Amino acid sequence: MKKLVISMVLMVSLSIVLAACGGSETSSDEKGPTAPSKFLKVGSGPMGSGWYPITTVMVDVYMDGFSGLNVSQLEGGSTSNLESLEKGDIQMGLNYTSDFTSALEGGKGFDKPLKNISAIGALYPVYQTIATTTDHEDINSIEDIVDKHIFLGPKGGGGPVAFWKMVEEYGIDEQTIEEAGGKISYGNYSDGASMLKDNNVDVFVGGGAPFIPALQEIEITKPIKVIPIDEERLQSIKEKGVGIASGDLPAGTYKEQDEAIPTYTMVTMLTARSDIEEDYAYNLTKIFWDNIPKFEDQIPKRAKHFTKDTALDGINPENLHPGAKKYYQEVGVLE
């Protein structure tokens, strides 16, 4: 009798263990796929930029979408994020399509070609804004900023690279500005906007879609004036094929902006390390696009541009990560 009781206890215990194992598998499925690593670091933009809230949402999306994955965002910039991907300091990052192309070729902004970066997808166009405040009556054109103190955003960002490419169309470079008595400063957008408000810099350069949050914050007390780019210069730089296009900053982007203002644009994209597993890259891509409603809820003005129809804008499909390519083929974006 004693042996029978022990046998029954063992059988019940085994049943509980098996049920627990089965329940664990179901629970794991409900939580989503398992990542090959417990940590995912995403390269963002500086505080006050439009990129930072995007990666904030990404942190939540990926932590909810994967089982047991810890996600963090790190301040950075377009070119610095690409360099960080190459070194392995981050696994995903935001950058511009123009910088991605330059990185693969070892072009402007990079000392040598980067070999461990692959595209995940394009997100939205970014309007590059060259702004001052309305009390600077002497600044109304690009030619007027040569002898001024100019803030260019994060030093490792794609904004400064694009700025220098743009002002080359005017025959302006860093030496021109220094010789004219001008000065260049770098930093995050929030600091730059504060410096503009306090007249510690004269000109602010940054990218937004279309607005820059940090500039909107200061225009409550210090109205913003956006400097237009000549149409001829815009057409010239577009024809050079350096990943820079043009567009009109919509009227009303800033409070005292009554008309659309021509400026130069770039496309923000997601990039990952080439050596992450194909299934992992596939799930990173799929979970991102499956959660667009969360982006639309929290960052509607940017997320309205997030669409699979434009996911390859400015991206050569050959440069996609195989996992991302598999996803786009699955949903009919690629054949």
Q: Is the pLDDT of residue 130 over 50?
A: yes
Instruction: Tell which residue, 306, 231, 301, 234, has the closest CA to residue 268.
Output: 306
Q: Is the pLDDT of residue 220 over 70?
A: yes
**Of 18-32, 94-108, 116-130, minimum mean pLDDT range:** 18-32
Compute CA 277 distance to the chain's CA centroid, rounded to the nearest angstrom. Answer: 22
Q: Once rounded to an integer, what is the mean pLDDT over residues 249-266?
A: 93
Burial (CB count within 10 angstroms: exposed 0-12, middle 13-18, buried 19+), residue 151? buried
Q: Domains in the chain, start-ordered, CATH in brackets?
A: 35-124+268-330 (3.40.190.10), 126-266 (3.40.190.10)
CA angle 221, 223, 227 (to 5 degrees): 155
**pTM exceeding 0.85:** no
Can you give the pLDDT at residue 48? Answer: 78
Can you give the pLDDT at residue 30? Answer: 53
Alpha-carbon span 153 to 193, nearest angstrom: 10
**Of 235-244, 255-264, 265-274, minimum mean pLDDT range:** 235-244
The single residue listed with the structure tokens 């963002």 is 44
Largest CA-CA distance found in the chain, in angstroms, rounded? 102
Can you give the pLDDT at residue 156? Answer: 74
Is the backbone peptide bond immediately before 36 cis, with ω within 30 degrees of 0? no
Alpha-carbon span 296 to 305, nearest angstrom: 9
Assigned token pair, 204: 């602010």
Q: Is the pLDDT of residue 12 over 90?
A: no
- H helices of the chain, in order, are 2-31, 51-65, 78-87, 97-105, 158-168, 174-179, 189-197, 213-218, 231-239, 278-290, 292-298, 300-303, 322-330
